[in-house]
Amino acid sequence: MQIVLSQEELSEGISRLARCIRDDLGRQPVTVVGVLTGSIVLVADLIRSLDGPVRVGMVWASSYRGTATSPGRLDLRLDLLPDLTGQHVLVVDDIFDTGRTLEGLLAELHKRGAASVRSLVLLKKTGRAEVAIEPDYVGFEIPDRFVIGYGLDFDGGWRHLPYLAALDPDEIEAARCGHDLSGSVDAGRTAETP
């Protein structure tokens, strides 16, 4: 696997995103709505970088199953959401690929009486969007490769890696067969700051 973003680069990206949010919202309270499960690490770091009042709610979304690396049907569960009436909502997801997850979620959240609804993704894959919407805040643009770590999984594993790494198709195949990939890290870089 190849490191796409180091711990330091991720940390700088989160600080930059937090500054952009506060530039737009000032000290107003923000309700961060994280998308389970991939956003857990990002939400934990982002809320600690956001000066000023913050609330946190979570929703669950999934369009992947097990070892598949391309999206299927979108499932949303919104029953964990707090009341959003009058809140400045910031939806936080790990990655914008086709954009279908964020599109589906924003459509639901716009029905909940929020004062404003913004969206943030840590990563956006180049040339993959299938929707008209754009996230309001993007941490990093990355090439179209399957990435893991910093909350993102492959078949439920790898979310705990403190950096972001890309898996090659042969590694995805090997992981499907149960091989351990943790020894094969290459430090080349492929991500850009937008």
Question: What is the set of active-site residues?
Answer: 97
Q: How far is the CB of 99 from ligand 5GP (least distance, A)?
A: 5
**Is the torsion defined by CA of 161, 189, 139, 76 positive or negative?**
negative
Q: What distance in Å separates the CA atoms of residue 55 and residue 67, rounded to the nearest whole number?
A: 33
Q: How far is the CB of 157 from ligand 5GP (least distance, A)?
A: 10
155, 66 contact by CB (below 8 A): yes
Is 38 near Mg ion (CB under 5 A)?
A: yes
Q: Which is nearer to ligand 5GP, 28 or 69 (CB)?
A: 69
Q: How far is the CB of 8 from ligand 5GP (least distance, A)?
A: 21
Q: Which residues bind ligand 5GP (CB under 6 A)?
A: 38, 63-64, 71, 93-101, 146-148, 152-154
Is 13 near Mg ion (CB under 5 A)?
A: no
Q: Which is nearer to ligand 5GP, 22 or 104 (CB)?
A: 104
Residue tagged 């790494």 (tokens): 165
The pair phi, psi for residue 179, each rounded to 5°, is -80, 150
**β-strands 146-148, 75-77: how paired?**
unpaired
The pair phi, psi for residue 54, each rounded to 5°, is -140, 135
Binding site for Mg ion (CB under 5 A): 38
